Amino acid sequence: MPATGIALVTEPETSIQAEEPAPLIEDVTKLYDKIASRAFEIFEGNGGRAGHDLDNWLRAEAEFFHPLHIGVSESPEAFTVRADVPGFKEKDLEIDVEPRRVTISGKRETTKESNGKKMIYSETCSDQILRVVDLPAAVVVKKAKTTVKDGVLELSLPKTEPDKQGEAKPSAG
């Protein structure tokens, strides 16, 4: 685990798991089912009008996920991924790095206080984030580094080194 406390999940480049699905896959499947169920509730609440499937899905998705603003930059040696994660602590985040993909997920726990007053209006953001970023070139998974500062997650992902013919080959490490 990196010094920041973020759970950085790295898999060897040839890793194949045939036994049980990874916890992240299970979580994504559960969230997909929740979003689908909520989208159907929205569909029914609108009188079952056809033709608004995407709008219903996006509205349901927005209720479950906090928007994750992200930027990916590239240098000859590495990719840098920066994501705004305001309100998320390092312990709330899980980063899964694969040779050509990064998955950023997180869930924060919040408590709601009641002071005996009647709530008239309340607007909140979702307490979960999920973003998958496909990379245009392979990276050295074991050398990935993460930092979180002032609500910004930064990932440094060294590229595999090109050989003399211009084909990528894994670097040592």
In a domain, 54, yes or no: no
Look at the pTM and tell me if it is higher than 0.75: no
In a domain, 30, yes or no: no
In a domain, 103, yes or no: yes
Q: Strand pairing partners for 135? A: none
Other C-beta atoms closer than 10 Å to the C-beta of 120 total 5
E strand or H helix at 61: helix 53-64
In a domain, 132, yes or no: yes
User: For 71-118, what is each residue's pLDDT tens digit?
Assistant: 999 999 999 999 998 888 888 898 999 999 998 888 877 655 556 677
Q: What residue numbers bound the domain in which 75 lies?
A: 7-13+67-161
Kindly report the CATH number assigned to the domain that includes residue 150: 2.60.40.790
In a domain, 128, yes or no: yes
Question: Domain total for the chain?
Answer: 1
In a domain, 102, yes or no: yes
